[in-house]
Structure 1
Amino acid sequence: MTTITEAARKTTLVPPSSGEFSSRQPKTIRLYPVSNYTFGTKEAQPEEDPSVSARLQRLQDHYEQFGMRRTCEGILVCHEHGHPHILMLQIANAFFKLPGDYLHPGEGEIEGFTARLNERLAPVNAQYPSDQHTSEWEIGDCIAQWWRPNFETFTYPFIPPHVSRPKECKKLYLINLPKHKVLSVPKNMKLLAVPLFELYDNSARYGSQLSAIPQYLSRYNFEFVDENNVVIGRSPALNH
């Protein structure tokens, strides 16, 4: 006969360990809550092109004069309720994009990318003159490259075999956000914190590049901290 104590013990048994499963993992990234960041506004930054055709024509003009266009965009990660969120810009309440832009001809990659991030998100000096975090960026790993083979809207995470001279390369960099930072958004845009579960497999709303961000970030481990810098969770949080 099985006693009540024995039955209770069986229902609370911890499953045996399946073994260590964390070899060759990249470093753990600490994520701060979105409430740690100060959001302001600055002058509007209208789009350079009135239409898709005009944008592609400008790309062609650039290519003919300077060669392949180089574009850098940043994946800014924070957390809310212990789940990673990506800070991204929304334009006209419909179009989403990551902060960044194309580099000028002859401009250094990291220097140019830093300048584009400041153009998009750094406040003007008069707003926060004493804040040292307004124009500093810790640019981490390049975690994705997308290629535009022709003067068309289609881009690919590889160079098609028949293409020898792509027209644009876009790199996505992981941006390690500090504990606190001031971010100012152009008046004609919104800065939204979008959770990974919203992005995943949602190319219909966010496009193929943004909806792939959860896959890019799956190689990392995350550590979530609260406003007091106390660790409140980790991902993955598994007991093997």
Structure 2
Amino acid sequence: MDGETVSAMDNNQNQSQVLNIYPLSNYYFGSKDAVPLKDEPEADRVLRMKSNYAAYGLRTSVQAVILVELFKHPHILLLQVRNSIYKLPGGRLRLGESDIDGLKRKLNSKLSVKEDGFGSDWEVGECLGMLWRPDFETLLYPYLPPNVKRPKECIKLFLVNLPETQRFIAPRNLKLLAVPLCQIHENKKTYGPIISGVPQLLSRFSINVMEF
């Protein structure tokens, strides 16, 4: 590697946004009452989406990208459903609800103890990317195709920055896992197209592990 290449790499690194992450051991993980899970055939899911679209229009979903450190490597927090399906924490927005308010509500529902209607004070950062569903099938695009005038769903991924310590309380029928980024990178077969694409979305960040 010549000097010019090294210099270019150093300049790119200096221009990267710094993302601080904390050790997994800093956080407490507990459980709470189970939540209802949808278990429907694909045909029923499509019918439900068509009905909701007819009533409310474009469906907007928000999902959280939350990182921690383990074994000196960044890990992402994922929810595992029925030991086979992996999801980023989040979900569908209510009608008229903002992206940030909706994501905080979903994070409180999935990952917090809710007392008197209040949950954790989540720090929702920038939107890392958007995915579009042109029709009611499962195919997603990282852009809105120019010939699609009425997309059926928009999925937005937001970076959520964790404090030095926090409590995570997940429903007992959902497993909250810390999975290394190197394991999910382009692994669509196991994690699906959204999660497997997260490492590329994070490539512009300089990840800094906070040591204690």
Using structure 2 for the length normalisation, give the TM-score: 0.91
Specify the code of the residue in structure 2 equivalent to 1:105: L
Whole-Å separation in 1 of the counterparts to 2:73 and 2:122: 22
Q: Are 2:212 and 1:224 equivalent residues in the alignment?
A: no
More helix by share: 2
Do residues 35 (structure 1) and 25 (structure 2) align?
yes
Structure 1 residue 125, shift from structure 2 partner: 2.6
Is the counterpart of residue 94 in structure 1 residue 84 in structure 2? yes
Cα deviations by residue, 1:61-98 (Å, 9 ceiling, x for unpaired): 11111110010000000111211100000000000000
Q: Aligned partners of 1:201, 1:186: CA distance in 2, in Å?
A: 28
Equivalent in 22, 28, 36 of residue 11 of structure 2 = 22
Name segments (4+ residues, structure 1) moved above 4 Å: none
Contact 1:49 1:55 in 2 (8 A): no
Q: How does 1:130-149 map to 2 (within 5 A)?
A: 134-149=119-134
Structure 2 CA distance for aligned equivalents of residues 159 and 153 of structure 1: 15
**Amino acid paired to 1:138:** E
Matched positions, count: 207
SS of residue in 2 equivalent to 1:173: strand
Aligned to 1:108: 98
AA paired with 1:150?
D
Counterpart for residue 177 of structure 2: 192
Overall identity of the aligned pairs, in %:
40
Deviation at 1:161, TM superposition (A): 2.7
TM-score relative to the length of structure 1: 0.81
| Gap regions ≥5 residues in structure 2 | none
Does 2:154 correspond to 1:169?
Answer: yes
* Structure 1 residue 71 corresponds to structure 2 residue 61: yes
1:205-220 matches, within 5 Å, as 205-220=190-205
Report the residue type matching 2:163 in the other structure: P
The Cα shift of 1:51 comes to 2.6
Tell me the alpha carbon deviations over residues 19-65 of structure 1, each in whole angstroms, 9 at most, x when there is no partner: 25325724211110111111110111122352332222222111111
Report what 1:236 is aligned to: none
Which amino acid is the alignment partner of residue 7 of structure 2?
G
Q: 1:156-202 CA distances to partner (integer Å, 9 max, x unpaired)?
A: 11122321110000000011011001011111110110101101121
Distance 1:104 1:51 in 2: 24
**Which of the residues 141, 145, 169 maps onto 1:156?**
141
Are residues 105 and 16 of structure 1, via their aligned partners in 2, closer, same or farther at CA, if it must alter by over 3 Å?
closer
Tell me how far apart the structure 1 counterparts of residues 188 and 98 of structure 2 sit (CA, whole Å). 32
The answer to whether the 8 A contact 1:25-1:220 is kept is no
Distance 2:132 2:155 in 1: 6
1:51 corresponds to 2:51:
no
Looking at structure 2, the residues matched to 54 and 42 of structure 1 have their Cα atoms a distance apart, in angstroms, of 29
Partner SS state of residue 222, structure 1: strand
CA contact (8 A) 1:146 1:158 kept: yes
The residue type paired with residue 83 of structure 1 is H
Name the larger-Rg structure.
1
- Contact 2:61/2:92 (CA < 8 Å) preserved in 1? yes
